[in-house]
Amino acid sequence: MSKENIIELKGIQKCYDDFVAVKDFNLEVKKGEFVTFLGPSGCGKTTTLRMIAGFELPTEGQILLHGKDISNLPPNKRPINTVFQRYALFPHLNIFENIAFGLKMKYVDVTYKNSKGETIVRKEKLSKEQIREKVKRVLEIVDLEGFEKRDISTLSGGQQQRIAIARAIVNEPEILLLDEPLGALDSKMRKEMQIELKALHEKFGITFIYVTHDQEEALTMSDKVVVMADGMIQQIGTPEEIYNEPNTVFVADFIGESNIFSGKMTGKKKVCFCDAEFDCIDDLPAGSDVDVVVRPEDIEMVPSENGQIRGTVKNVNFKGIHYNITVQSGENEILLKSTKHVKVGEKLGLRIEPNGIHVIHAETDINTYEGVITAVDKVAFADGEFDCDITKLYPGSSISNNNLYDMDGNKINVIGNSVTVRVPISAPAMSDDIDAGGTKGHIASLIYKGDHYHYVVRTKSGENIHLRDKSLWNENDYVSVIIPKESIDLSLNAEEAQDV
Q: Which of 113, 105, 85 is nearest to 190 (CA)?
A: 85
Residue 83 CA: distances (Å) to CA of 88, 163, 208, 223: 9, 10, 11, 19
- Name which position in 32, 42, 173, 462 contacts ligand ATP (CB under 6 A): 42
Which of 39/239 has CB closer to ligand ATP? 39
What's the DSSP call for residue 183? T
Choices 41-49, 141-149, 359-367, 451-459; region in contact with ligand ATP by CB under 6 A: 41-49
CB of 319 to ligand ATP, least distance (A): 27
Number of chain residues interacting with ligand ATP (CB under 6 A): 12
Position 44 contacts ligand ATP (CB under 6 A): yes
Position 454 contacts ligand ATP (CB under 6 A): no
- Name which position in 9, 21, 165, 226 contacts ligand ATP (CB under 6 A): 21
CB of 21 to ligand ATP, least distance (A): 3
> How far, in Å, CA of 54 to CA of 58, rounded?
9
| Strand 429-431 with 453-458, pairing | unpaired
The identity of residue 384, as a single letter, is G
**Cα–Cα–Cα angle for 279, 302, 247, rounded to 5 degrees:** 40
> How far, in Å, CA of 437 to CA of 458, rounded?
14
Which of 45/190 has CB closer to ligand ATP? 45
CB of 327 to ligand ATP, least distance (A): 35
Q: Give the helix/strand (H/E) hosting 168.
A: helix 157-169
CB of 82 to ligand ATP, least distance (A): 13
Per-residue burial over 80-118, b = 16 or more CB atoms within 10 Å of its CB, e = otherwise: bbbbbbebebeeeebbbebbbeebeebeeeeeeeeeeee
CB of 292 to ligand ATP, least distance (A): 29
Position 54 contacts ligand ATP (CB under 6 A): no
Choices 34-42, 116-124, 398-406, 473-481; region in contact with ligand ATP by CB under 6 A: 34-42
CB of 175 to ligand ATP, least distance (A): 18
Q: Longest Cα pair distance anywhere in the chain, in angstroms?
A: 104
Position 41 contacts ligand ATP (CB under 6 A): yes
* 337 neighbors 296 (Cβ within 8 angstroms): yes
Position 39 contacts ligand ATP (CB under 6 A): yes
CB of 231 to ligand ATP, least distance (A): 7
Q: Which of 165, 237, 174 is nearest to 194 (CA)?
A: 165
CB of 10 to ligand ATP, least distance (A): 19
Position 215 contacts ligand ATP (CB under 6 A): no
* 99 neighbors 170 (Cβ within 8 angstroms): yes
CB of 453 to ligand ATP, least distance (A): 23
Position 24 contacts ligand ATP (CB under 6 A): no
Q: Which residues in 17-78 belong to E strands, given as ranges?
A: 19-30, 34-38, 60-65, 68-69
Choices 36-44, 144-152, 261-269, 418-426; region in contact with ligand ATP by CB under 6 A: 36-44
- Name which position in 7, 9, 38, 45 contacts ligand ATP (CB under 6 A): 45
| Strand 80-83 with 175-179, pairing | parallel
Residue 351 CA: distances (Å) to CA of 298, 354, 449: 9, 10, 18
- Name which position in 12, 29, 43, 284 contacts ligand ATP (CB under 6 A): 43
Choices 38-46, 92-100, 200-208, 355-363; region in contact with ligand ATP by CB under 6 A: 38-46
Among positions 420-449, residues that touch ligand ATP (CB under 6 A) are: none
> How far, in Å, CA of 39 to CA of 438, rounded?
31
Instruction: By CB under 6 A, name the binding residues for ligand ATP.
Output: 16, 19, 21, 39, 41-47, 213
